[in-house]
Amino acid sequence: MSEVADTTTEPADDRVSNATPAEGDIPDATPEGSGLESEPTEDAETFPRNYVEKLRQENGRYRQRASEADSLANRLHTELVRATGKLADPTDLPFNADHLADAGTMSAAIDALLEAKPHLAARRITGDIGQGAQGNTGTVSLIDILRGTTG
């Protein structure tokens, strides 16, 4: 048996790949003469720095207002649900902007929630539970209590 040594294989560290990058691969550096430059061309639109900063500040104010509006809308939704008196905890109904525009939609959503989860309904205690203000029982006298008569 004769052994043939493979002399064409080189270690991976010494190889240099001249292959073109596959689709989706990003080359490490821009090849020379490719027409791509790192400097902006004269045709590119640029705006003065102070104008861009002004636009960014204005955009920041709008984002803050939008955040505040979202917060206020959530609070309004919670209070409208609380005003119905149907739920023990008004935050049990998730926020939906449609509920703010149409009271019928909110009422239907609350009814659907209560049908699915009746334990979320508000409970009202009615009747005499033995506490609080009661009708006038007359005068109380220690002597009458000792004699066993009330009057």
Inter-residue contact 123 to 88 (CB < 8 Å): yes
Q: How many CA atoms lie within 13 A of 15 on its CB side?
A: 8
Task: Give the Cα separation of 137 and 82 in Å (integer).
Answer: 38
Does any domain span residue 76? yes
Residue appearing with tokens 């119905």 = 84
Digit-coded pLDDT (tens) for 36-48: 555 655 656 788 9
Q: Specify the number of domains making up the chain.
A: 1
Q: What is the pTM of this model?
A: 0.48
Nearest to 111 by CA among 102, 120, 123: 120
Does any domain span residue 125? no
In tens digits, what is the pLDDT along the chain, a chain of 151 residues? 445 555 555 555 444 445 555 555 555 555 555 555 556 556 567 889 999 999 999 999 999 999 899 999 999 999 999 999 899 999 999 999 898 888 899 999 999 999 999 999 988 877 777 777 666 667 777 888 888 865 5
Query: What domain range includes position 71?
Result: 49-120
Does any domain span residue 79? yes
Q: Output the pLDDT for position 141.
A: 79
